[in-house]
Structure 1
């Protein structure tokens, strides 16, 4: 990875449904891009990737998160520069969402509904990676 690579991190945030105990995944809506994605963001200079991922979850969803397995890293170009986003599975551990300029809505969805709602196809593979990590810890 060279100096032009944009480094970011995030989580596939999950919980057990308060209604039926089924798996739910948190997606965030970013009005700037009009998209639905997993909580993620750029790392601060010198910031550890996992610490940055948990910080982004807290900032974007209001949730504290308990990190689990590392999930696949996504790599793709953005504005002509390479971007690398490291992801972890993370269980929601409480908190309260407050809408803001960066994220104005969150949804808790079943894995199938989350796959459908995600804007970027590359993010759908992370849902599958999360479900596999929870089945085989």
Structure 2
């Protein structure tokens, strides 16, 4: 997703980031309103720096992996803190998410097995009726 022309830039307009990441400018403004991004202002224009772009990458990755905005905010709040603190929080959040997804996977597997059994019984019922 990273483009060479964006790697060398220091400043980004909101439209540039929206286009690069395939999201709306409204989504970026929402993340700003939630305190996840802090662009500078020149009049009414938002000016994003590399740091904001890096944070946006982390926000979008976190969302894609199913983390809540609260979890993402907690992680980003440690962005400039002690690296081991940030990594420990990340490990805890990843472990929580893995446990949640593994539980959902077991539920799905159980549901699929039950549906297959119902289908099998229904097919058997149709064969008897024929």
* Larger RCO (CA within 8 A; separation ≥ 6): 1
TM over 0.5: no
Give the structure with the larger strand fraction.
Answer: 1
Give the structure with the larger helix fraction.
Answer: 2
TM-score category (smaller protein): under 0.3
TM-score, normalised by the number of residues in structure 1:
0.24
TM-score, normalised by the number of residues in structure 2:
0.25
Structure showing greater Rg: 2
